[in-house]
Amino acid sequence: MRAAVIEKPYVVEFKDVAPPVITRNDEVLIKVAVTGICGSEIHAYHGTHPFRIPPVISGHEMTGVVVETGKEVQSVAIGDRVTVEPQYGCGLCRYCKVGDYHLCPRKKVLGTQEWTGSFGEYIVVPEHTVIRLPEGVSFEQGALIEPLAVGVHAVRQAKVGLGDKVAVLGAGPIGLALMLAAKASGATRTFITDVSDYNLEIAAKLGSTYTINPLKENPVEFIRNSTNGDGVDVAFLAIGLEPVLNDALKVVKKGGKVSEVALFGSHPKVEISFVQNREISVIGSNMYTRSDFEIAAEAIAAGIFDTGLLISKILPIHQAREAMELVDKKTENVIKVLLTYA
Ligand SMILES: [Zn+2]
Ligand SMILES: [Zn+2]
């Protein structure tokens, strides 16, 4: 099969490799149609990701068609248009037993050395990870379900509700997903920050009430001034930088919530006295579970999540290296770059 392999840091090779095969009765073979490039793949490309370690066939934001099923597979059939929740737990630990398999210490993640990802033309996945694409959702749109599910999970966890004021710090794909999910959950005012005017422009088009470029104005002052000095109900951290984390603690109202969704490469210094003094709750959010995935898929089908503005560029799989460079170096303005096997 055709595959874009991250051979070692900064080296992506497009080549022919042996496809994965079904070895268990509950497995499904999928021919990948479209795969997105995620920030975590860029970390893998840099050789800095904790478990996407080269040489690896990465890729976990995908859609495709079922081409073969194991003997016991019942819920999907050959020809189904699908996406995959790219994780599953051991099924035995205390987390798995209560449905929190995304916290399983032995969970497997698609696009690692132990589970070949969608930068290869075929993937083999357990039946229970497969989700049929709702009618009317294209392969390209469906590739956005995974990053949108990250936003859905964090917003549901933070219990954003009707009338809430919400700040999202960082307007990359996950920040935009958080903003969309917060609005869909009833947030009446959203503030989103980013140093890229292009990303802020997209955020405004997607309906954010306010956009703030921290290079031009102080987000803490802006958000406080716009909320009678109180701050927002919930702040989401969608970029892993120390000053942004400390801003998050300063833009929530007393008794408010800070949801940490970002990956930090370092150990930030936190102004923890804000948490104590202002009775702030800090919530961690890690990926999603199946219900978040299903909600994201339905919200795309219903037009609540407009993927058109999120998809910046679609390139053929043999240009994976150029695509990775583009996402990494931002040589042009992009939100989400997709790769296609067509
Ligand atoms: Zn991802
Ligand atoms: Zn487990």
CA of 49 to the centre of ligand 2 (A): 22
Q: What is the DSSP string of 150-206?
A: HHHHHHHHTT--TT-EEEEE--SHHHHHHHHHHHHTT-SEEEEE-S-HHHHHHHHHT
> How confident is the model over 187-243, as pLDDT tens digits?
999 999 999 999 999 999 999 999 999 999 999 999 999 999 999 999 999 999 999
CA of 191 to the centre of ligand 1 (A): 23
pLDDT for position 265? 79
pLDDT class of 342 with cuts at 50, 70, 90: confident
**What is the reported pTM?**
0.97
* Helix or strand holding residue 8 (H, E): strand 2-8
Tell whether the model's pLDDT for residue 266 goes beyond 90: no
> How confident is the model over 280-314, as pLDDT tens digits?
999 999 999 999 999 999 999 999 999 999 999 99
CA of 101 to the centre of ligand 2 (A): 6
* Helix or strand holding residue 244 (H, E): helix 242-251
CA of 109 to the centre of ligand 2 (A): 13
Shortest-distance ligand to the CA of residue 174: 1
CA of 279 to the centre of ligand 1 (A): 32
pLDDT for position 127? 98
pLDDT for position 335? 97
pLDDT for position 144? 98
CA of 100 to the centre of ligand 2 (A): 8
CA of 126 to the centre of ligand 2 (A): 15
CA of 273 to the centre of ligand 1 (A): 33
Shortest-distance ligand to the CA of residue 91: 2
Tell whether the model's pLDDT for residue 50 goes beyond 90: no
> How confident is the model over 96-152, as pLDDT tens digits?
999 999 999 999 999 999 999 999 999 999 999 999 999 999 999 999 999 999 999
CA of 93 to the centre of ligand 2 (A): 4
Shortest-distance ligand to the CA of residue 105: 2
CA of 41 to the centre of ligand 1 (A): 8
First to last CA, the chain: 13
- Kind of pairing between the strands at 252-260 and 232-237: parallel
CA of 196 to the centre of ligand 2 (A): 39
Q: Is residue 296 within 8 Å of 152, Cβ to Cβ? A: yes
> How confident is the model over 152-199, as pLDDT tens digits?
999 999 999 999 999 999 999 999 999 999 999 999 999 999 999 999
CA of 266 to the centre of ligand 2 (A): 27
Half-sphere exposure of 231 (CA within 13 A, CB side): 21
pLDDT for position 57? 97
Shortest-distance ligand to the CA of residue 106: 2
CA of 229 to the centre of ligand 1 (A): 36
Nearest-CA neighbor of 293 among 45, 94, 63, 91?
63
pLDDT class of 67 with cuts at 50, 70, 90: very high
* Residue whose token pair is 């479209």: 34
Bond into 20 cis (ω within 30):
no
**What pairs with residue 145 in β-bridges?**
none
- Kind of pairing between the strands at 281-284 and 252-260: parallel
* Residue whose token pair is 């603690």: 249
CA of 249 to the centre of ligand 2 (A): 33
Shortest-distance ligand to the CA of residue 100: 2
Q: Tell me whether residue 225 is exposed, middle or buried, using C-beta atoms within 10 angstroms of its C-beta: 0 to 12, 13 to 18, 19 or more.
A: exposed
Q: Is residue 264 within 8 Å of 288, Cβ to Cβ? A: no
> How confident is the model over 319-328, as pLDDT tens digits?
999 999 999 9
CA of 125 to the centre of ligand 2 (A): 17
pLDDT for position 23? 97
CA of 70 to the centre of ligand 2 (A): 23
**Interaxial angle between packed helices 145-157 and 173-184, expressed in degrees from 0 to 180 and rounded to the nearest 10:** 50
**Bigger pLDDT: 263 or 261?**
261
The Cα 281–Cα 278 span in angstroms is 9
Residue environment code for 231-259, b if the CB has 16+ CB neighbours within 10 A, otherwise e:
bbbbbbbbbbbeebbbbbbbbbbeebbbb
Q: Which residues, including other chains, have CB under 8 Å from residue 49's CB and lie 6 or more apart?
A: 40, 43
CA of 60 to the centre of ligand 1 (A): 6
Near ion ligand 1, which residues have CB within 5 Å? 38
